[in-house]
Structure 1
C-alpha cells in the first residue's frame, strides 16, 4: 500500500493506492464503489496478476486508507484518480469501475480520451436526463437484497465499512438529483472502447438505463450478468472472465 499526498488547499489529501507489477507499463486501474475500498477488488486483482497485467487499485477519498475530506464532488473523485495515475507515471491504462467508481471512471475517460485504452463500467449510475429519471431516483443506493448481501460481505471484510466516511452518501446523492443533459452529450466524445455491465433486475439500477448509456457511447458493448448491483462480488468468476476477455 502506497500513500500519496495530493495538494488540497492549504494542506494535502492522503490517497491510498495498492499496486502490483510495473504500473508504468499499461496497468489496469480499479476504482471501487461507494462504501468499498481497494480490497473489494481482491479476486479481480489476483486474476489480472495471473494474466500478467500490472494493477493499480485506488481508495477514493473518504474510503479505505484514504483521508476523509470536506468535499465529495463527483469531479473531486475524478480528479483524485487523475492525480494518482499522473503521480505514478502512468501514461496509458485500462480502467475498471463499479457504481460510484464507474461514474468516476467515465468522467475520467471524458477528460483523458487519449490515455484510457479500454473502459469497463459495472453498474454505472448515469446522470438524470429529465423529470422521469429524477422520479426514478437512479443514483448510488441499495435495495433490500443488496443491503443483505452487503451485510454478509461486511461480516467477512469489515474494514471498508469501518473506515468509510458515513457522511459521504448524503453529500454525493444530491448531485444525482439534478438533470444534466450536457453529461449525456459529452458521452459522444468518449472514443474509448467500453464494456457496460448491468447486474440485471435485482439491482436498484434498471438495466434499460445502462443499455441507454451503452447506446450513447460511440464504441461500446453491453453485457447483463444477473447478480444485483455488486456483480464483481456476487458473480466474481463470471465478472472477472468478462473483464479479462475485454482488457
Structure 2
C-alpha cells in the first residue's frame, strides 16, 4: 500500500499492482463498508491479462483517513486526486455500489480521464417523489443481509475499519431527489457497462436499466445473485468485465 493525498488533503491508502503497461491502468473502486481487498479475484484476472491495477480505499474506509466530509462529490474528487498523484492521464474504471456512483461522477466531471466504465450495482439518485417513496437506493432484503453477514464473518476487517459516519452521511444524500443528475447522464459519452444483481438485490434492475438507457454508449448485463455480483458470481463477473475490456483469452461464463 502507498499513501496518497486526496481531495482536501485527505490521506488515502492505495494499492497498485501489475506490470508496467502501455495501456491505461484499471482503477478499482469498492463499495460502502468494504475496501480494496474486495477486488482480489478481479485484480488477479486483470494482472494475468497484463494490466496495471490501482485499488484505493475510499475515504472513511480501510486504511484511508476518516474525515468530516463524506459528500458524494468528495469520493469522486478523491479518485481524480489519485490518478493525478500517480500521473495517470486516463483509466478504465470499475466500481461497485458507492464506488460505482463515485466513478460515474468522475466521468461526469472529468470525461477525458475515464476511457471506459464498469458500473456494478450503481445506486442512482432519486429522480422525483415517486423514487423517494420507493426508496430506490435504500434497504436490503433478508437474503442480501445474510450474504453480507457471511462475507463479514470471512473478512471482518473492512467493516471494523469503516467510519460509522459514512453510512448516515451517504444515505442522507440519496434521500433527496436530484433530477439534474439524471439530466446530465446523456452527456457521459464514456463507453459503459452497467451490471445489475437482479431481483435479489435491493437495487431494482429496472432503475439500472433506465440509467443504462440514459447513457449514450452503455450496455447492460444482469446476474441474479444480489448486490455484490463480483463477490457472489466472481467468474461470471470477471468474464463480463474481461470481454468488455477486450482482454485476451476471456471467455463467456
Q: Same fold (TM over 0.5)?
A: yes
Q: Does 1:14 align with 2:36?
A: no
1:84 deviation in Å?
0.4
Q: Where in structure 2 are there 5+ consecutive unaligned residues?
A: 246-253
Encode CA deviations 1:115-148: one digit per residue, 9 max, x unaligned. Answer: 2111000000101111110011122543221111
With normalisation by structure 2, the TM-score equals 0.93
Q: Where in structure 1 are there 5+ consecutive unaligned residues?
A: none
With normalisation by structure 1, the TM-score equals 0.96
Moved over 4 A (4+): none
User: RMSD over aligned Cα, in angstroms?
Assistant: 1.3
- CA distance in 1 between partners of 2:226 and 2:89 (Å): 34
Encode CA deviations 1:43-90: one digit per residue, 9 max, x unaligned. Answer: 100010011111000110000000111010000000011100000000
Question: Partner of 2:109 in structure 1?
Answer: 111
> In 1, are the aligned partners of 2:42 and 2:238 still within 8 Å (CA)?
yes
1:5 deviation in Å?
2.5
Q: Does 1:164 align with 2:162?
A: yes
> In 2, are the aligned partners of 1:97 and 1:105 still within 8 Å (CA)?
yes
Question: Partner of 1:149 in structure 2?
Answer: 147
How do 1:125-204 and structure 2 match up within 5 A? 125-139=123-137, 141-204=139-202
> In 2, are the aligned partners of 1:28 and 1:94 still within 8 Å (CA)?
yes
- CA distance in 1 between partners of 2:45 and 2:6 (Å): 30
1:223 is paired with a residue whose SS is: strand
> In 2, are the aligned partners of 1:23 and 1:55 still within 8 Å (CA)?
no
**How many equivalent residue pairs?**
244
- CA distance in 1 between partners of 2:209 and 2:5 (Å): 38
